[in-house]
Amino acid sequence: MAAAAPHRHGYDSLTTQIPVFDHRGLIGVSDMGCSELRIAVEYDGDYHRTNRRRYVMDQRKLRRLAALGWIVVRVIAEDDEADILARVGHARRVREAEVSQGASRTLAA
């Protein structure tokens, strides 16, 4: 499965089936990601596209994840493994830079 590509290539900090909560409770469960860096990898199979109820639930979850500052990498079966890895890698670099800048600001204060 294309969505498993990051795990096979050394992204060990990514775990599967991550529950995400906000102040109202459970937003949903991300297919894969890293809670500490707020990165979610979401696999959108055909069911997510063809079932209206599932589609609506997915859209609401994605909006709530974005509101909490999560970076969401969306994956479909036809995605090239190298592209998935590049997108996940980019998300990690963005988050790690933000964390690093935040630490620098804290030390300077």
State pTM to two decimals: 0.79
60-71 confidence digits (pLDDT tens): 999 999 999 999
Classify residue 84 as exposed, middle or buried by CB count within 10 Å of its CB (0-12, 13-18, 19+): buried
Residue 5 confidence (pLDDT) above 90: no
82-108 confidence digits (pLDDT tens): 999 999 999 999 999 998 887 656 555
Q: What domains lie within the chain, and their CATH numbers?
A: 2-108 (3.40.960.10)
Q: Kindly state the helix (H) or strand (E) to which residue 21 belongs, with its residue range.
A: strand 15-22
pLDDT at 100: 86
